[in-house]
Structure 1
Amino acid sequence: MSIIVNLDLILAKKKMKSNELAGLMGITTANLSILKTGKAKAIRFSTLDAICKILDCQPGDILEYQNED
């Protein structure tokens, strides 16, 4: 897939663990893991909004497009 999820990088910069983020967002760590590993087929704007609010970042910090060619 040509969309790369950089959530691990942002979490490391903010010195936050995945389970802490999941708890603050009110989602399971399993659902957050699906997003982090790039296995998610979609992301709701409300989820992206919550991540950006909690981590004080922009959507472009989390999602990146890479051409597969």
Structure 2
Amino acid sequence: MAIIINLDVQLARRKMSVAEFATAIDITPANVSVLKNGRAKAVRFTTLDAICRVLECQPGDILEWVPDEADASAAAEGAEA
């Protein structure tokens, strides 16, 4: 399972720097970087709420699910049956 966090696009649309964004959602710039680079293992709902409030977007605008190879293989095997 791969959940991708697409913050770059939303930040660019709003012409907002990582530092400004971090201050606005009350997390460190280093943690914003972790989110942007796909290294986050989890996101608190309070953080997700703050992200959506500041960027004026829906969770689906920044979160994307991409099946990993195991999911794709299982789906292909199920389709063959």
- Quickly name the TM-score band, shorter chain normalised: over 0.9
Read off the aligned partner of 1:18 and give its amino acid letter.
V
Identity %: 58
The letter of the residue matching 2:12 is A
Q: Which one has the largest radius of gyration?
A: 2
Higher relative contact order structure (alpha carbons within 8 Å, sequence separation ≥ 6): 1
* Displaced runs of 4 or more, over 6 A: none
Unaligned runs of 5+ in 1: none
Consecutive unaligned residues in structure 2, runs of 5 or more: 73-81
d(CA) in 2 for partners of 1:20 and 1:42?
22
1:3-24 alpha-carbon deviations (Å, 9 max, x no partner): 1110011101111111101011
In the alignment, does 2:15 pair up with 1:15?
yes
Secondary structure class of the residue paired with 1:38: coil
- How many residue pairs get matched? 69
> Per residue, is there more helix in 1 or in 2?
2
Using structure 2 for the length normalisation, give the TM-score.
0.79
Match of residue 49 from structure 1: 49
| Alignment RMSD | 1.0
